[in-house]
Amino acid sequence: MILFGLLISQAIVVGSEPFFTAPGSAPGSTRGHSWLLTVAEAADSSFTQADRDRMIRMEDRMTRMEDRMSHLEERIIRVEEGLKAVNQRLDDSIKAINQKFDYLIGLIYVMLSGMFVLVGFILWDRRTTLAPVVRTTREIETQTEKLVLVLREKAAKDPELKEALKHAGLL
């Protein structure tokens, strides 16, 4: 702020002289130093020991803050690396779980196929096993019906046989 005020006051005092030339030098001359350096020298004269101490403290604070920032950056980098490792472990775990599910699904397909084959075999075996039994049973029923008819005809002539057939429930 002080520097800005000095620059403005010098510009007002100089009037028509170019801003970047020294007082008394010819316009366009390179001799001397610029007004900015003169203003800076004027500002240096107002720089006190307290300002110097304050600036040193500020530099120390800035250094400590830079150290903290670099420490935080290192910690963030370590956290990011840790997260990458965790993500890799999760990816590996998910792949392992997917492989186990694929194995289980294959096992279920094999089990279901085996069960269907077993049921088909049982039905085929039952049909082939029962077919002769059913045929034999029908033959026996036919023969039994014929025998009952013959016995009824014979019971009509024989009273003792008629009584026996009634008692057996065939008449």
Task: Choose between 36 and 112: higher pLDDT.
Answer: 112
Q: Where are the alpha helices (DSSP H) in 15-48?
A: 35-45
111-130 average pLDDT score: 91
pLDDT (mean) for 15-43: 49
Distance CA 35, CA 20 (A): 5
159-168 helix and 49-157 helix, angle to the nearest 10 degrees = 170
Q: 159: how many CB neighbours lie within 10 A of its CB?
A: 9
Whether the pLDDT of residue 82 is over 50: the answer is yes
pLDDT at 31 over 50: no
Cβ atoms within 10 Å, residue 7: 18
Share the mean pLDDT of the chain: 81
9-23: pLDDT as tens digits: 555 544 444 444 445
User: Which is it for the CA torsion 87, 91, 96, 100, positive or negative?
Assistant: positive
The structure tokens 């990011």 sit at 80
Least confidently predicted of 12-21, 33-42, 61-70: 12-21
d(CA 132, CA 18): 130
With a cut of 90, say whether residue 58 has pLDDT above it. yes
